[in-house]
Amino acid sequence: MISATILVALSQLSSAPEKGALGKLFQRVRGCVFEVVVSKHHDSGATYAERLPTEDLSFQERNDSVWSIGSAFAVGKDTILTAAHVLELGRDDPFYQPRLRDDKGRVFAIGKLLKYSNHEDFALFTVPGLSVKQPLRPAKKLEVGKTVLAVGNALGEGIVLRDGLLTSQTPESENGEWKFWRFSAAASPGNSGGPLLDAQGGLVGVVLMKSESENLNYALPWSVVSGFKSGVGRYRERSSYSHPAMPDRERVSTMDTTFPLPSTWKELDHQNWILSGLKTARDRDSLLRQEASEFFPRGKSGKLRMIPILQVLPTTIVRGQDGWWVQNVRKSGDPVDLGSNGSWRSSSDEDLMRAAIELPDTTRLSDYVDDSRLLGDLLLKGGRLTRDFAGKEIRVTSLGKAVAESLRVDRWGRPWLVRAWRQPWDGALLVAHLLPQPAGFAALVDVAHGYQLRSYQGKRIEDIADATFCYWAGSAKQWQEWSARPELVPEFMRSLRFDATAKEPRAVWNGGSFQLVPEVARPSEKPYLVVYPDFQDVAKDSVRLGIGAVGITPDATGAKFAMAMRVSPPQADFSPEITQEWRSRLDGRAPFDGTSLDQGNGKRLSMKPVPASLKAARADASGSTPVWMASILLDGAPRQGQLDKALKKTLQAIAVPKESAIIR
């Protein structure tokens, strides 16, 4: 039940009503003013690391079945006016539907929208079953300096009335289409949509917003609402769009359209969602058309196309300020131990969280692919989602089963698991795009509302996934289990096989092969294969994702390894330093001549081009043939002779794969 509290701070002006008159005025007005409420979500299905401290909530929070989100008021017997932003039209969320609650606690559904504009920020609608005896009437005379009263559901704790002065009129900021009233009466969160009255109770306007830095607040004049054409809705949005892979470019545009009314709240809610999504789609398509000649793999992309993407965390490629496409490498946070050699390493930014997940030895990849509850709990163990409850951050340990599951194949032919778990306390979704790997997942994790995922945010996450790259790694058993699920295997990796049963662990793909020789590391029970992708030219301005590097280690620690890596020739506009480095590879000069390179802690690196590959590259007059390099890492401070022997054997163990094409 609403507490009909009156908060008054009467000014000393002669135009201010007496306290007794103010009380009578409030008694008359309170029957015209309503709370706008939404039902609380059914708060069950989640588990937490500790008990929720419900005793720390206020009495009203514990016992009320709704959330109070704003105010509204009657301008007719069954006709209500509020601020458009209070209704949050455009969510297209079946769990969200505003209603009205009067001072007796009765709740009413919204009927038909008669007038609406998100630009002017008002909504006029009917309420079936409502019968207000004395709706508000327009003020007869308005003057700057006169006393005004802001009435509304301040702070969500009941209808209150506060006074101040009508201070000025100020033009709408973009085109000056109308003038706002500014006033000094206090306005708190929840006042939005309530009436601004004169001292006699006449309607001045609709309270819309408060100033951030001073107590001068804004109201839309009643004359703007009354002068707006009946039976018409307006949707206007001016906003900017930037593609996540091109933060250096943005498109600013305006959508301004009208549509016929009346309509139900659900109909208008769905229409606004469609219009918002349509604007974003148009902006995105327009920007991509505008940047088509520079969008990857076009433009300055050759640096990315030279060598494989050798990163531990999922890495997003972006166009830098200088126009070159580069890897946007982020620093990893502290790793999270998942137990039994499982780990979670991640980085976060304003977009979302990126994570590299290695599963515990005691589990299988299929366990998580097929069981969304298990997968969600794994993400929460590493991602550390918290719920703000009574001013305390409570860690969430489970959200139950996913409410949405799908498989999406991106522009490179990589299958992503898409899963969404609902947060029962607010209806938002924990969303994950996961790239299955033999040992775990590369993950992009975000929290968003359903309406966002079905429009701009969903497409944005897909764009980020398309521009995000990572390695595939695992033991022989893990590779075997992963390969047994062909729907999880990217097209360009379907020829890959990892054989650890032989004396020397061996990888085979696209007619080529590579093995770990005993001069690098003695056979072990759990040899580990790591595969890095690269971009391989198939035609002018057309590339495919391919296998760019294959590394084998005796175990998952990587203390010793051998690697075969594909390096593409530089483009004509590359810097002299990069071109010289390429010549050093072709000529077998340091550091590509097998020289020992100190990596610290007694580790030494040594690398050389594969002779057959080097011969083909030297013979290619067009300068387009890549070179395959052999690299080894030994520990224990090996001498040059030991490195030379191990590198020679490794070079002999590489059969260069065919250059095949899958055009995307």
- Tokens of residue 483, six digits: 């390969």
At 90 the pLDDT is: 81
The proportion of the chain whose per-residue pLDDT surpasses 90, expressed as a percent, equals 67
Q: Give residue 312's pLDDT band: very low, low, confident or very high (50, 70, 90).
A: confident
At 158 the pLDDT is: 76
The better pLDDT of the pair 251, 621 is held by 251
Question: Residue written as tokens 């999406």?
Answer: 408
pLDDT at 415 over 70: yes
At 17 the pLDDT is: 56
The better pLDDT of the pair 168, 457 is held by 168
At 32 the pLDDT is: 94
pLDDT at 470 over 90: yes
Identify the burial level of 232 via C-beta atoms within 10 angstroms of its C-beta, where 0-12 means exposed, 13-18 middle and 19 or more buried: middle
In tens, the pLDDT along 481-508 reads 999 999 999 999 999 999 988 789 999 9
Cis, peptide link before residue 297, omega less than 30° from 0? yes
Distance CA 450, CA 453 (A): 5
pLDDT at 214 over 90: no
pLDDT at 3 over 60: no
At 19 the pLDDT is: 60
Q: Give residue 621's pLDDT band: very low, low, confident or very high (50, 70, 90).
A: confident
Amino acid 549 reads A
At 227 the pLDDT is: 96
Q: Supply angle C-alpha 374, 378, 379, rounded to 5.
A: 120
Cis, peptide link before residue 138, omega less than 30° from 0? no
pLDDT at 454 over 80: no
Q: Give residue 18's pLDDT band: very low, low, confident or very high (50, 70, 90).
A: low
Q: Torsion over CA of 241, 244, 245 and 248, rounded to 10 degrees?
A: 50
> Mean pLDDT, to the nearest integer, of 81-99?
88
At 456 the pLDDT is: 65
Q: What are phi and psi of 192, to 5 degrees?
A: -55, 135
Distance CA 507, CA 657 (A): 11
> Mean pLDDT, to the nearest integer, of 456-467?
87
The better pLDDT of the pair 378, 572 is held by 378
- Tokens of residue 216, six digits: 């001068």
Distance CA 450, CA 398 (A): 19
Q: 10 Å Cβ neighbour count for 71? A: 29
Q: Give residue 292's pLDDT band: very low, low, confident or very high (50, 70, 90).
A: very high
Distance CA 60, CA 465 (A): 43
Query: What are the DSSP calls for 265-329, one per residue?
Result: HHHHHHHHHHHHHHHHHHHHHHHHHHTTTTSTTSSB-TTTTTS----SS-EEEEE-TTSBEEEE-
Query: What are the DSSP calls for 558-605, one per residue?
Result: -SSEEEEEEEPPPPTTS-HHHHHHHHHHHHT-TTSSS--EEEETTEEE
Q: Give residue 189's pLDDT band: very low, low, confident or very high (50, 70, 90).
A: confident
> Mean pLDDT, to the nearest integer, of 58-73?
89
The proportion of the chain whose per-residue pLDDT surpasses 70, expressed as a percent, equals 94
The better pLDDT of the pair 661, 187 is held by 187
Which own/partner pairs from 445-448 qualify as long-range (CB within 8 Å, at least 24 positions apart)? 445/352, 445/353, 445/354, 445/355, 445/379, 445/383, 446/351, 446/352, 446/353, 447/385, 447/423
pLDDT at 14 over 50: no
Averaged pLDDT score across all residues of the chain: 89
Q: Give residue 213's pLDDT band: very low, low, confident or very high (50, 70, 90).
A: low
Q: What is the DSSP letter of 530?
A: E
> Mean pLDDT, to the nearest integer, of 78-107?
90
Taking the model in full, what pTM does it have? 0.89
Distance CA 79, CA 120 (A): 19
pLDDT at 245 over 50: yes
pLDDT at 215 over 80: no
State how far the alpha carbon of 85 is from the alpha carbons of 69, 550, 622, in Å: 10, 54, 62
Identify the burial level of 644 via C-beta atoms within 10 angstroms of its C-beta, where 0-12 means exposed, 13-18 middle and 19 or more buried: middle
Q: Supply angle C-alpha 19, 24, 25, rounded to 5.
A: 90
pLDDT at 71 over 60: yes
> Mean pLDDT, to the nearest integer, of 445-469?
83
Strands lying side by side in the sheet with 468-469: 325-328, 315-319, 468-469
At 664 the pLDDT is: 31
